[in-house]
Structure 1
Amino acid sequence: MAETRAWKLLLPRQLRHLPADLAGVIGVVILTNLAALLPVVSDTPVRIVAGLVFVLFIPGYAFIAALFPEAGSGPTADEENGTNPQADGIDGIERTALSFGLSIALVPLVGLVLNFTPWGIRLLPILVSLSGLTLVLTAVAAVRRWALPADERFRVPYRTWLSAGRDELFSPASRTDAVLNVLLVLSILLAAASVGYAITVPKDGERFSEFYLLTEDEDGELVADGYPTEFRQGEGRSLIVGIGNQEHERTEYTVVAELQRVERVGNETQVRERSELRRFQPTLGHNETWQRQHEVTPGMTGDRLRLQYLLYRGSPPATVDQSTAYREVHLWVNVTG
């Protein structure tokens, strides 16, 4: 006990007297920032758990703590008569429910404001904004709570809860209570294990790869529009080739770009002449995106030539055509001499 008090004396007075629930809010803010930014922790379930608590509960709790620094209780006869000194406060259930509701309201508002700033809706701006807002509200809540008499301040009776829980678990009033306590503990452990398993071993969704072509507009933005269709032999025009890996594993790709002279025979399109323009061989992890500029310089001339990009997972086979490709995109172009 003496050692515990000794290290507390090293803290500033405001922190030493900070209410336990507000100290917990600051702790969750720090934990979430570390879990989201530290490379060692950012890929673990800790980031998901801390992030959910931070987004869905903490900002609202800090806001409610700032609005209602006084203790509260459920409706009583004294409250109806106006003689209850805690009538202006709210009880724990109301405080918890409002915390969830206000968090769900505050977080989108922060995102909306960020959307109109140069930083945009990204991880770091969201972390900084929500953390800053929560810490400011926590400071206001602490100041307002300190301004009240000690017996009117809201406090979380965690020592009472722990004592009551310990007595209920280890000193049950009857054998029936003991059996119910064991069942309750087993149910909580089972629920926690189920949630932990769902977080740590997520079910794989559909496996696929995105494959697309883009162009650059006048503002330098990449768009799926305005593709070049008129070329001159030997003169290059740019396209952007893109791949998105949603295969749930690291994947090696090969992209083959060809210019083809094709002929329609019945219901089939047959290639009469082909010219390979370039190959790309990127390797992507799951959920990674790859984009490269391709300067298309046609060597053959003609109308309605097919500029085709073929995507393969791994190395392509000896026969490179649409029937062997994993994905395919193409443009119809005209090339003059």
Structure 2
Amino acid sequence: MSHGTSRLTGVGVIRQYPFDLAVVSIAAILAYGIATATPDGNVVRLLVTFPLVLFLPGYALVSILFPAADRSGREATSTAIDRQSRGIDVLERLGLAVALSLAVVPIVGIALPFTQWGFTTISTAATLCVVTVVLAQLGVIRRFRTPASERFTVSPLASLARLRGDESAVATASSILVVLAIGAAAGALLFGFLVPPSTGGYTELALYSDNGGEEMVAGNITDEVAPGESVPVTVSITNQEGEATDYTVVVQEQVIEDDSVVERTRLEDLETTLDDGTTGTGELSVTPTASEGETVRISVLLYEGEPPEEPTNENAEEDTYFWVTVEE
């Protein structure tokens, strides 16, 4: 009594489970875990993001589309139908993996903003991980449904043995290098789109005047005061540095001659700490020390942290000023 076909037992399935698809599934899970556990800008996070974005989803999809190996160069047949390859070779498989990954990732990026999870690092990594693992398991099913003689398989030990004895090892290594070069170029291109060069944070400094108790008005600061009289000014600082920042504001009276500062008088300091994305305001009463009939420049100099011993407009992070004349 004979059986035309044999069914794989549980142990048989484990033993014949495709090595490459197991690696792809495990790599996707590890990449998700590392990408979500490390902070933004971490080198390790960038390294694990590349395969998750550039290779793993596409390779899993290729395993579904082409479960068979390339037979055109290994078997000679007598008919045109038999001469057609039912699979693709390793070089084509790797190249398609990169190309299809670049097609899958934008679809995920477009779809996520319309879901409850939104387009975030965690949601993107999780989605790519799930997509990769699911596609890989579907690829496993396709492999098992393909005759063993035609099935695409990856065996590290067998590959090493072939490399030691195969005269075409140099050509194979060259093909691998070409694929790696293509992947590196595509990775650099994708990295440029996803992570553009950072322009750094910034801080905004502005001066406002009190318009009769109504909303604050930019500029329009009193330009004439009597001796000993103060000029009311509101200083506004907006922190867009990406983190909480300590600021010091130095109010300085400057005597200008021939477009140069010939005398400086430090009138007042203001210190504050602002969280990222917040705006803080402070009220100042600037009292010039200039003599009657003299016009001076009041410079407001902003520093992150402690100011230098000699604050100037040139060494300030941000600066602004207004003119005031002292007269009866």
Q: Above 0.5 in TM-score?
A: yes
CA contact (8 A) 2:58 2:97 kept: yes
Residue 296 of structure 1 aligns to a residue whose secondary structure is: strand
Residue of structure 1 equivalent to 2:302: 310
Match of 2:124 among 126, 148, 152: 126
Deviations 1:17-44 (A, max 9, x none): 43111101011112212322345x9987
1:19 to 2:18 alignment: yes
Residue 105 of structure 1 aligns to a residue whose secondary structure is: helix
Post-superposition shift, 1:123? Answer: 1.7
Separation of aligned partners in 1, 2:232 and 2:106: 52
* Structure 2: runs of 5+ lacking an equivalent: 1-8, 178-183, 185-196, 207-215, 223-230, 289-295
Residue of structure 1 equivalent to 2:318: 328
1:164 to 2:162 alignment: yes
Post-superposition shift, 1:155? Answer: 1.3
Separation of aligned partners in 1, 2:200 and 2:42: 25
Match of 1:212 among 203, 220, 233: 203
Residues 237 and 268 of structure 1: is their aligned pair in 2 closer, same or farther, counting only changes over 3 Å?
A: closer
* Structure 1: runs of 5+ lacking an equivalent: 1-8, 189-194, 196-205, 216-225, 246-251, 283-288
Post-superposition shift, 1:72? Answer: 2.2
Post-superposition shift, 1:108? Answer: 2.8
Residue of structure 1 equivalent to 2:212: none
Higher relative contact order (Cα pairs below 8 Å, separated by 6+ residues): 2
Separation of aligned partners in 2, 1:79 and 1:29: 43
TM-score, with length taken from structure 1 = 0.60
Residue 299 of structure 1 aligns to a residue whose secondary structure is: strand
Identity in percent? 26
Residues 153 and 212 of structure 1: is their aligned pair in 2 closer, same or farther, counting only changes over 3 Å?
A: same
Separation of aligned partners in 1, 2:117 and 2:205: 25
Q: For residue 310 of structure 1, what is the amino acid of its counterpart? A: L
Separation of aligned partners in 2, 1:118 and 1:333: 54
Q: For residue 30 of structure 1, what is the amino acid of its counterpart? A: I
1:243 to 2:241 alignment: yes
More moved, 236-245 vs 21-30: 236-245
CA contact (8 A) 2:298 2:323 kept: yes
TM-score, with length taken from structure 2 = 0.61
Separation of aligned partners in 2, 1:328 and 1:235: 17
Separation of aligned partners in 1, 2:265 and 2:220: 19
Separation of aligned partners in 1, 2:205 and 2:269: 18
Separation of aligned partners in 1, 2:234 and 2:11: 67
The total of aligned residue pairs comes to: 267
Q: For residue 21 of structure 1, what is the amino acid of its counterpart? A: D
1:279 to 2:271 alignment: yes
Residues 43 and 317 of structure 1: is their aligned pair in 2 closer, same or farther, counting only changes over 3 Å?
A: closer
1:99 to 2:89 alignment: no
Post-superposition shift, 1:152? Answer: 2.6
Residue of structure 1 equivalent to 2:32: 33
CA contact (8 A) 1:212 1:242 kept: yes
What is the alpha-carbon root mean square deviation over aligned residues?
4.8
Q: For residue 296 of structure 1, what is the amino acid of its counterpart? A: G
1:256 to 2:248 alignment: yes
